[in-house]
Homo-oligomer: A and B are copies of this chain.
């Protein structure tokens, strides 16, 4: 075990991948000389050189599409889109090309590309820098979506993502970069399964990325009030690990999804739909969700806090599900 931040864990993952496979390279805005906008790639330029740590021009569409091409050409590119907000400029190569290519070519071309981006709010960056769109991206067939919430996943998801023959989007939670803890070096990280992060009996809290910590805090608080909450970390947003979800929900008979995405059309809605489809008759109460308010994220701290899922709202919703409101 070593003490480390989420940022450093991500950097370790990058460094290991670059060291392990000469086909791997990192490209994006300010990943090199600047040291990474959020300092994730700091030091890598010195270590791996300009060929493999490539600063790009401000051209999100261009360099994401070039990443697709480079993947087709035999490399294993990691493209950093500085934040998910700017990925709206690069949706065409992601959805229209990379995600569709293998199927529409009759199985001829896979796109072994990893796109990393920072997601989420909580740092007063306002409407154009605070989206949580990872759940929205999870609508798109042909791609896989990862949301590391723990140090182990921050370090360990990149390598299996690079081994995956298809496009993988890896969403780093901006609010977690400075989070520090003990890294369990022995944990084996897969990119297929959800994980039970806390066992419980009375209800299942389903969270991922930035909401996992809040769900765990809520579970702790609920425990103090005699409620035993199980907490599931989705980890992989597409494809969803239904088996783990349903096993838990069948056991607890109650589910609450905690999702930083805007409520309507959230990943939480999809999870509720699946629970209803697969476990309706095992439910003791309607599955519920705590999501972000449907508002462009405001700058002012108190408004931003009000717009995001918070522990008290999770606790209240959980108690509501149990008729303890």
Contacts and interface: CB of A to CB of B under 8 A. Distances in A.
Contact of A85 (B96, B99, B267): B96
Contact of A298 (B103, B264, B277): B103
A138 B264 contact: yes
Q: Copies per complex? A: 2
A142 interface: yes
A128 interface: yes
B126 A104 contact: yes
Nearest to A97: B128
A266 interface: yes
Interface string A264-281: 111111101100110011
Contacts of A136: 136, 139, 265
Contacts of A127: 96, 100, 103-104
Given A265-B267, A267-B265, A269-B270, A296 B104 contact: yes
A261 to B, nearest CB: 8
Interface of A: 61, 85-86, 88-89, 91-92, 95-97, 99-100, 103-104, 126-128, 131, 135-136, 138-142, 238, 240, 261-262, 264-270, 272-273, 276-277, 280-281, 285-289, 294-296, 298
Given A139-B264, A269-B273, 11 more contacts: A88-B92, A88-B95, A89-B91, A95-B131, A103-B296, A136-B265, A138-B264, A139-B266, A141-B262, A272-B277, A280-B286
